[in-house]
Structures are given as structure tokens and as C-alpha cells.
Structure 1
Amino acid sequence: MYTTETGVPVRAMKPVNETTKAAQQDAILNPRFYTTNFAEIDGLRITPENRKMWDEILAEFRRDPNKDHFKRNAEFDQSFEDMDPALREQFVEFLTSSVTAEFSGCILYAEIKKRIKNPDVRELFGFMSRDEGRHAGFINHTLNDFNVAVDLSFLTKAKKYTYFQPKFIYYATYLSEKIGYARYITIFRNFEKQPDKRFHPIFKWFENWCLDEFRHGEAFAVLMRSNPQFLEGVNKFWIRFFLLAVFCTMYVRDHARKPFFDFMGINVDEYDRSVIKLTNLISRQVFPETIDTDSEAFWELMHQMWLNTDAMRKAEAAGGGLFTKLKVTALKVSNGLTFLRLFLRTPHRQPLPADVRMQPVW
């Protein structure tokens, strides 16, 4: 009889396995754990003109449309021992990054709920922690099928926590939820067209799964539109920074995993362009300035970021002395200058729509 457990497994594992050690690392492209100024979050308000939308969003959370979704079926009982070793390695890396990101959100949102009194915001973060916990548990159960589940109990205690200002939490969370929607729905649509490429049943869950991500992003859109100080003045530059940081991180990480996308029958260049353009389009619901993703010059600079990063990885893997260190330093400087050129490009400016809410129609 197959198990349908989806709770977050937080049992201690001894000794700590390699997957948990990988999730614990704080490399620049790895998901991080965060803490913030909880008192400042407690001061968020919902303006009267956005109250109806806010109440509708919370009503959706209370209905919990996906409460019966994250249950495994008999498809998960099949043996994956014959999976291509290279694919298995790439798949485990993909799942490890995903479970770390989901669990990071789960513990941050739970801590915010515990530390604030604002009833609107407190309820929201409770629901979001619930959802991210389900996601993390579902992914980790799949990792357990490969005998490499992440020890989330150990990770909670051992992984370093990065302090983020509340407004940075709002920008980063909104973008991570919306880009998560775009990534999952694009992968799901790919497997609809190429079912023979679907090498694991977990991908069948992605359509409903990404609706959680979309709903989370909607809540943060209303929060930011109700607190417009986060969208004005110097904060426009912070918004552009976070848009580019999220897009560059995704582009570089995905291109480093090109073999994994090849296994899925996905052209990584086309995938990243599609996901980034969709996320950029969606974010116009809340951000007064977004990125000009229609310019080919933008994509040339994005690809230069990947070429520099790839050259760094190869140089560091080859080892060496002073020459290697100088080469890596030069490539880091080049990446910094490339990011600056991206940042200084003229953004796409648009008036904010009167109706904040969007529908996941893609």
C-alpha cells in the first residue's frame, strides 16, 4: 500500500547525508534562510480600496483549494533504479534546491506569524507557511524514494540565516512566488506536449502546485499596493535590482543544469526567455518599473553573465595557484560590471493597473 503522507519530515538523521550538506551550503546561487525586522512587518496595513481584494485572497487561503492535492498515488511506487545516472544526479540536485527554497519560506513565514500581532498579515503568513511546508514535504518524500532526503530538522539549526529588510522580503518573496509559478507551469505545459519525456510522476502535480505560488504572489501584490511607499522613490532602484538579481540567478543556475533540461526535452535558452518574460509581464501588476526584456541587448548581457560564471566554475575545478585566483577575480569583476550594465539600462515604465488582481491563465 503506497503512503500519501505529505507533512514536513523533520526527523533527525545520523549521520548527516550528502544531500543535507549540499542544502546547508550558502553558495551564491543556493537558496538561503532569512530573518527580518518583525516589528516593521507588524505595521503593514490594508487600505480601504484594497480591502475587498484582500478579503477575497484570504478567503481562498481558508478554502485551501490544494488541501487534497499533495497526496502520492501508485505511480510513485514504481522503481527508478534504471534511471540514467546522470539524470538521477541532476534530478536530485533540482529537488534539493527546490526543497531548500520551499522550506526556507515555510520557516520564515511561520516565524513572522509567531512574532507579529497584525491579524491580517498574521493570518496570511500562517497560510503561506502551511503551503510551503506541504511543498517541502512532498519534494522531500520524493528525495526519500532515492534514499537522499534532506534532514530538515538539522537544516533548521545548522544553516546560516541572512538578515533582510522587510521591504526586501516583500520584493524577493513576490518575485520568487511569481517566477515559481512561471517555471512550474512552463515545465508542466512542456510535458503535456511531450509526455514521453516525463521521467517522474511529480511533474504531474505542477499545474495545481503552481497555483499556490500564484496566490502567494497575489497576496504580496496587494500588500505592496496597500503600502505604496515600497514602490516609490529610491525603492524603484531596489525593485530593479531584485528583478535583475532573480532573473540573473535563474539564468545562470538553469544554464549550469542544461543536461537536466535536455533530459526534459526543453531548450534551456527558450525556457529561460519564456519564464523571465512571463514573470516580468506579471510583475507589472505591482511594480511601476520592470525590465526591457524585448531588447536583444538584455539577453546578450544575461548570457555574458553565464559565460563568466561557467568560466569561473571550470577554473576553480581545475585548481591552480595565483593565476587561477587572478582569473577568477577578473571574471567576478566582469560579472559585476555586466550586472551594472544591466541595471543601468532604461527600464520599462508603466502606470499601475487599477485592478491589482491577476488570473493564472498561462
Structure 2
Amino acid sequence: MVTSAPKPQLDLSQAKTKAIKENILTPRFYTTDFEKTAKLDLSSQETEFEVMLNEMRADYNRHHFIRDDSFEGSWDHITGEARQAFIDYLERSCVSEFSGFLLFKELSRKLKDQNPSLSEMFSLMARDEARHAGFLNKAMSDFGCTMDLAFLTKNRVYTFFPIEWVLYTVYLSEKIGYWRYIIIYRHLEKHPENQFYPLFNYFESWCQDENRHGDIFKVLLRSQTKLWQTWQSRLWSRFFLLTVFATHTLTVHERSKFYEILGLDPTEFDAEVIRKTNETAARAFPSVLDTENPEFFERLHRCSDLNLQMAEIESSSQPKWIKKLRKLPLQLSIGGHLLRIYLLKGIDAEAMRETVR
């Protein structure tokens, strides 16, 4: 394996501050009800589960995450705002992948005695997420910093999600990750002049891990009839779709410089990722959002503008209490726009699938 020369790390306190800082857009660490997870009845999807388990055992990407000679050399020519935008992207991606690793690893450990097959599946997914996080962390070292992942493990606040919520959200996280990676990869295939760092060469195979993980969670979700055959599941499906899409829109526009240096229009990229993810979710969820409704992206973009205004307020030198007062009406406005989107008539995905058949 070819690796680049060691780079100096950020001061540890600085790295910890950057890694631990919490806001609504920061990837979080999750825990769940392990006893309930171990008792999930997968019998209705047993064949599909075995197919996915064998696929994971095959480990098609076992030789993929190896740095080659293209990583040799200096990256000092990437400077200023572009450099910081890319480092921010690497940091967020690394934390997100590492969060998945910790959740899957803990699920595997807790389910080992009660549900060996499901335990093995989570162990294999943890393997993939560890590779992703390690590869991203190594990329960060090329830019003079690394994530203190051991510190993150011990000091991050863990958010409890019922296993039902985990199935919805992880499915969406993996599928939206697939579309982000593959859209960037295909764009750079057409515009190699914008490929400023070799990490992007790995995105095609990388996104297949995301897609495979999403398919696994689709199997788990469809094994639980209450998650797709009830009126409550229709409400939850659209809720989690909206949560993931709103976070994506705010994040993309907050870090628009990264996409611009790739030659991508942030707004167009965001819309394509959301549309493709919504179409994909219609294969697993009972109801999805109507992304073609004129209000959908209009209100999401208003939320993004308001979020940028809040970021400006937060970066000011005003006292904290004044910042909170100034941000409150903006936060309420964002909440209002999201509620209006949620109340738009959804699309019956079950009916769509029946029509196709």
C-alpha cells in the first residue's frame, strides 16, 4: 500500500472542538433498543436477507480502499476558501461514516447470542463503514489534520432512536449517500478538469457499499409490516424523508463552495439528489414526497436562505442572548416552511408499485 508522508495534526483541542461542535446539521451518533432489534421477525424477507448476507460476505470492495500513487505529492496548491470547504466536507463525511460504524458494531455485539445472522450482517456493514471512515481520515491527513476518532467514541452525545426510526433513517442515509457519490463521480467523469484530488476516483465503487447497505435496510424495513402497511407508516415515511431532505438542502447550501470548486451548481445538485432519493424510497416506503409540487423546492430554498442568515448571526461578535433572540424568528420561519411542505399531499408509493405490476 502506498501512502503519503505523515502530516502534522491539528492541535488536539482544536480538533476536538471542530469534531464535537453540535448543530442541527452535524452528523450524530445513535443508539437503539438492542433487545427489541434482536427479536425482529425477518421471516417474510428471509430469502432476500440471505441474498444480501451472501453479498456482504463476498466483500466485493475488499481491495478497493487502498491508496495508490495518485495520492503522492503535495496538495498545497489547494488553498484558501476552497481548501477549507474540502476539509469541512471530509470532516463531516468522516464523522457520518464513523457514526454508522459505531452503531452497526454495537448492534452486532449485542445481537450475537440472540440473533446470529442479523449480528453478522451488522458486523459486515460495520466493516464497510470503518473502511470509509479510515479512508476519509487518511485523506484529511493530506491536508494537515485528522479526526480523533477515539475521542469521538468516548465523548460524543449519543441520541436514542427506536429501532423503527433507525430502519427508516439509515435506509435514507445510505440511499442519499449513494446518489451524492454517484452524481459527483459521473459529473467528474465528464469534467475531469475539476477533479482536484484522487479521492473522487473511488466514489463509483464506494457508492455501491452505500447502495448495498440501503438494500439491506429495505429488507429489514419491509419485514416489519407496521412500517409500510399502516396509516402511521405513511406519516412517518414522509416525516423522515422531509427531515433528511431539509438537512441535505441546508448542508449543501451552507457548504456551496465545495460543490462550486467541483464545477457543480449547488442548487441543481441538491435537487437532483433529492429527486433521485425520493424515487428510490418509493420502492421501500408506503408514501413519499411530491418533489414536483412547485412549493416543495421553493420552501426548501427559503429554509436554506434563512439558515444562512442564522449562520451570519452566529458568526457575529454579539452576545449569545442577542444572537438567540435574532435567530428565534428565523427558526420559527424555517419550522413553518417545513410544516407546509409536510402537509402537501404525498405520493402513494404502494399504489405506484401496483400500477407498475
Report the Cα offset of residue 195 of structure 1.
0.3
Contact 1:290–1:349 (CA<8 Å) still a contact in 2?
yes
The TM-score with structure 2 as length reference comes to 0.93
Superimposed CA distance per residue, residues 212-239 of structure 1 (whole angstroms, 9 cap, x where no aligned partner)? 0000000110111111112223232122
CA gap 1:65/1:91 in 2 versus in 1, 3 angstroms: same
Counterpart AA for 1:2:
V
1:340 aligned onto 2:339: yes
Superimposed CA distance per residue, residues 77-97 of structure 1 (whole angstroms, 9 cap, x where no aligned partner)? 121011122111111100000
Gaps of 5+ in 1: 5-12, 355-362
Q: How many residues align?
A: 345
Matches of 2:16 and 2:289 in 1, distance apart?
A: 35
Superimposed CA distance per residue, residues 227-276 of structure 1 (whole angstroms, 9 cap, x where no aligned partner)? 11122232321221110010000101100111111100000111011000
Match of 2:247 in 1: 249
Superimposed CA distance per residue, residues 188-231 of structure 1 (whole angstroms, 9 cap, x where no aligned partner)? 01100100100100000000000000000001101111111122
1:62 aligned onto 2:61: no
Gaps of 5+ in 2: none
Correspondence list, 1:1-362, <5 A? 2-3=2-3, 16-48=12-44, 50-116=45-111, 117-231=114-228, 232-320=230-318, 324-351=323-350, 353=353
Matches of 1:178 and 1:106 in 2, distance apart?
A: 16
Superimposed CA distance per residue, residues 170-196 of structure 1 (whole angstroms, 9 cap, x where no aligned partner)? 111000000000000000011001001
CA gap 1:14/1:305 in 2 versus in 1, 3 angstroms: closer
Counterpart AA for 1:25:
K
Report the Cα offset of residue 25 of structure 1.
1.8
Report the Cα offset of residue 102 of structure 1.
0.2
Matches of 1:119 and 1:214 in 2, distance apart?
A: 23
- Specify the SS of the correspondent of 1:162: strand
Matches of 1:187 and 1:19 in 2, distance apart?
A: 28
The TM-score with structure 1 as length reference comes to 0.91
Off by >6 Å, runs of 4+ in structure 1:
none
Matches of 2:142 and 2:10 in 1, distance apart?
A: 18
Contact 1:99–1:136 (CA<8 Å) still a contact in 2?
yes
Contact 2:42–2:220 (CA<8 Å) still a contact in 1?
yes
Give the fraction of aligned pairs with identical amino acids, expressed as a percent. Answer: 37
CA gap 1:202/1:14 in 2 versus in 1, 3 angstroms: closer
- Specify the SS of the correspondent of 1:39: helix
